[in-house]
């Protein structure tokens, strides 16, 4: 921030490296001066979604310093009033007082549903931190002040629950972060079937005790779909529990729970939404066959929209299916924008919307949307990894690597972050490091064949053709016993220089709606194909948007890690 203020104050003028050093560090304190300045400038650019090669804000003057080149308007500094500023709230994990470990799914489910109910309550006025970030504080020893500081929130909600066969008792207290004062507490005893209504009641109680005036104009004009069947609701929470594990076996269990929930109550929109999400994500993360899941995903999403189309979850689920499986990106964008408008804390809406924008070539818009998602869910390994993917698609490889490493700092075993880091290493001429990351991703993902395909592609590019061909044989042998996305085979064919066979596999991928085809628009490995009439014809048959894609890889900056190695 000090560096940004210095550059803005001197806007239009050169700020030398010596001036930056004297502003940021005491004399003789910082020994690695060049790296320190480079890191500080890079973080400013990252915060502004700026590019070193095509700067909008901070221009590098080679060998001398930096210049702030964006127009600056001076405005009167007026502190935000409590009547118009957004309030950030974190719902900490509900504490299970039943003494029964098997009820932990209920603890997690109540936490997530309360987050959703709060986010739905006052769009634009309440920012509610998402589930992934708050779950990191389950059974934590950190103080309220420490948690509030790490999440950047104004209030925290702490809750406990007890449950018997038909009733639940919830005790909650709202704590103001700045002085750690309890501003409200409440006890609720309810029949189990009315828990969803209780969560909205909790939300309204919280809204009335935070620092903005809660009025009818700010409140929701619709309510989240509930169910009169307590067993259906219990199954829904179990399904969400499995869904959040994002492993192939857990996702199959989630489908079983959601399907049973909608069989008990066919009008339960949230359960239909959960079912659509699971059907849609299996082909993306777990080599699921789109032919098996596409029609089911579309039907579930349509049911959620029919039952409650003004629900953020319904819109986000339908948008995800429209993007990954229907390839109707205009519809996807409309539905996902609707989701985040209905609930500005809807992380899935932001995540999929960012993908739609990035894969359409609108990289700046995509990164801005993804930044909003990361503010709502700042400790999510998945969001930081996907941010890395979006930077990768924009050819901003250094920032892509930073996001992937940030994801791994939050979860060292997150396979997607290893996969994205491997992609960056391959594109920045660090093939050996890329192979290590792809091997790790393959192991941690329970055998995702995209990692195997990328490993073979990298070997082919290194000149290790025999080993790359062995990877191809492994892919084809695997396909005899389970589904292997044809896109992954096509990519390896491209790496081996067999473009004819690559097109054959891409055509197979098109016919079965292989979800990986959405990356044809932005994946650098297809850059040499994009001007070919055969490739353009394929894109038209898929109905994917055509735009001017970069045919040149981003040149690493002189100070980047990538510039220190060359492809052999």
Which residues lie closer than 8 Å to 448 by C-beta, 6 or more apart?
Answer: 285, 286, 287, 415, 419, 441, 442
Q: With CA atoms as reference, report the closest residue to 133 among 161, 110, 117, 153.
A: 153
Name which of 137-141, 214-218, 221-225 the model is least confident about: 214-218
Q: What is the pLDDT of residue 562?
A: 41
CA pair distance 113, 126, nearest whole angstrom? 15
Reported confidence tier of residue 29, pLDDT bands at 50, 70, 90: low
Identify the sign of the CA torsion 404, 405, 407, 408. Answer: positive
Residue 414 φ then ψ, to 5°: -80, 110
266-292 b/e (C-beta count within 10 Å ≥ 16 → b): ebbbbbbbbbbbbbbbbbbbbbbbbee
Q: With CA atoms as reference, report the closest residue to 312 among 115, 50, 518.
A: 115
- Measure CA of the first residue to CA of the last residue in the chain; give whole Å: 41
> From 3.90.1150.10, 1.25.40.10, 3.40.1080.10, 1.20.1090.10, which CATH number describes the 379-568 domain?
1.25.40.10
Which pLDDT tens digit goes with each residue over 101-145? Answer: 888 887 888 888 888 877 777 666 778 898 889 988 988 888 888
Identify the CATH class of 2-68: mainly alpha
Mean pLDDT estimate for the chain: 85
Selected residue with higher pLDDT from 190 and 309? 309
CA pair distance 347, 133, nearest whole angstrom? 11
Name which of 14-18, 215-219, 256-260, 438-442 the model is least confident about: 215-219
Residue 248 φ then ψ, to 5°: -55, -50
Q: What is the pLDDT of residue 517?
A: 96
- What does the radius of gyration of the chain's CA atoms come to, in whole angstroms? 25
Which pLDDT tens digit goes with each residue over 295-320? Answer: 999 999 999 999 999 899 999 999 99
CA pair distance 82, 76, nearest whole angstrom? 18
Cβ–Cβ < 8 Å for 344, 127? yes
Is it true that 225-339 and 379-568 share their CATH fold? Answer: yes
Domain 225-339 has CATH 3.30.450.90: no
Q: How far is residue 329 from each of residues 120, 335, 473, 520, measured CA to CA in Å?
A: 25, 10, 35, 14
Cβ–Cβ < 8 Å for 550, 393? no
65-68/15-16 β-pairing = antiparallel
Domain boundaries, the chain: 2-68, 87-223, 225-339, 379-568
Q: With CA atoms as reference, report the closest residue to 155 among 186, 191, 189, 179.
A: 179
Indicate the helix (H) or strand (E) that contains 452: helix 449-462
Domain 87-223 has CATH 1.20.120.80: no
Q: What is the pLDDT averaged over residues 449-468?
A: 96
Longest dimension (CA), the chain: 72
Q: With CA atoms as reference, report the closest residue to 38 among 24, 26, 27.
A: 24
Kindly write down the DSSP assignment for every residue of 188-246, as one continuous string: EEEEGGGHHHHHHHHHHHHHTTSSS---TTTS-SS-----S-HHHHHHHHHHHHHHTT-
Residue 510 φ then ψ, to 5°: -60, -45
- Which DSSP state fits 380? -
Which pLDDT tens digit goes with each residue over 74-102? Answer: 764 444 444 455 788 999 998 988 888 88
């Amino acid at each position: 921030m000090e560096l940004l203020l210095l550059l803005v104050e001197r806007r239009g003028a050169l700020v030398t490296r010596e001036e930056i050093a004297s502003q940021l560090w005491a004399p003789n304190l910082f020994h690695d001066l060049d790296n320190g300045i480079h890191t500080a400038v890079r973080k400013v650019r990252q915060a502004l979604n700026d590019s070193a090669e095509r700067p909008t804000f901070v221009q590098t003057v080679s060998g001398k310093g930096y210049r702030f080149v964006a127009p600056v308007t001076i405005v009167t500094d007026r502190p935000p009033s409590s009547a118009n500023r957004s309030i950030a709230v974190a719902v900490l994990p509900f504490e299970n007082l039943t003494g029964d470990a098997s009820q932990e799914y209920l603890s997690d489910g109540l936490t997530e549903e309360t987050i959703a109910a709060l986010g739905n309550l006052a769009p634009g006025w309440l920012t509610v931190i998402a589930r992934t970030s708050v779950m990191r504080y389950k059974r934590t020893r950190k103080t309220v002040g420490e948690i509030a500081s790490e999440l950047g929130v104004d209030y925290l909600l702490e809750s406990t629950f007890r449950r018997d066969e038909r009733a639940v008792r919830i005790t909650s207290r709202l704590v103001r972060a700045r002085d750690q004062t309890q501003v409200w507490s409440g006890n609720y005893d309810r029949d189990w079937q009315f828990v969803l209504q209780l969560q909205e009641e909790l939300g309204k109680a919280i809204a009335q005790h935070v620092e903005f005036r809660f009025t009818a104009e700010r409140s929701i004009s619709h309510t989240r779909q509930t169910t009169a069947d307590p067993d259906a609701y219990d199954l829904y929470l179990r399904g969400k529990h499995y869904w959040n594990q994002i492993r192939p076996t857990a996702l199959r269990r989630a489908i079983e729970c959601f399907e049973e929930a909608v069989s008990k109550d066919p009008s339960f929109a949230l359960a239909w939404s959960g079912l659509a999400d699971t059907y849609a994500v299996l082909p993306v993360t777990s080599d699921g066959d789109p032919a098996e899941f596409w029609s089911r995903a579309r039907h579930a999403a349509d049911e959620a929209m029919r039952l409650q189309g003004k629900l953020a979850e319904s819109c986000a689920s339908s948008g995800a299916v429209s993007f990954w499986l229907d390839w109707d990106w205009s519809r996807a964008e409309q539905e996902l924008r609707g989701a985040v408008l209905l609930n500005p804390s809807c992380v899935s809406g932001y995540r999929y919307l960012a993908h739609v924008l990035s894969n359409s070539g609108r990289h700046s818009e995509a990164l801005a949307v993804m930044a909003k998602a990361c503010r709502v869910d700042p400790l999510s390994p998945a969001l930081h990894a996907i941010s890395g993917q979006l930077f990768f698609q924009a050819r901003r490889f250094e920032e892509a690597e930073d996001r992937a490493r940030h994801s791994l700092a939050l979860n060292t075993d997150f396979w997607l972050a290893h996969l994205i880091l491997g992609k960056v290493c391959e594109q920045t001429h660090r093939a050996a490091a890329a192979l290590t990351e792809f091997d790790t991703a393959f192991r941690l993902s329970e055998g995702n064949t995209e990692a195997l395909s990328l490993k073979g592609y990298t070997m082919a590019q290194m000149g290790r053709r025999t080993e790359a061909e062995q990877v191809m044989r492994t892919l084809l042998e695997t396909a005899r016993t389970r589904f292997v996305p044809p896109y992954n085979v096509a990519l390896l064919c491209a790496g081996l220089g067999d473009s004819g066979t690559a097109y054959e596999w891409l055509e197979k991928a098109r016919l079965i709606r292989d979800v990986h085809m959405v990356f044809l628009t932005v994946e650098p490995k297809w850059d040499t194909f994009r001007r070919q009439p055969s490739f353009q014809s394929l894109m038209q048959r898929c109905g994917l948007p055509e735009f001017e894609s970069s045919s040149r890889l981003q040149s690493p900056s002189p100070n980047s890690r990538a510039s220190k190695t060359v492809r052999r």
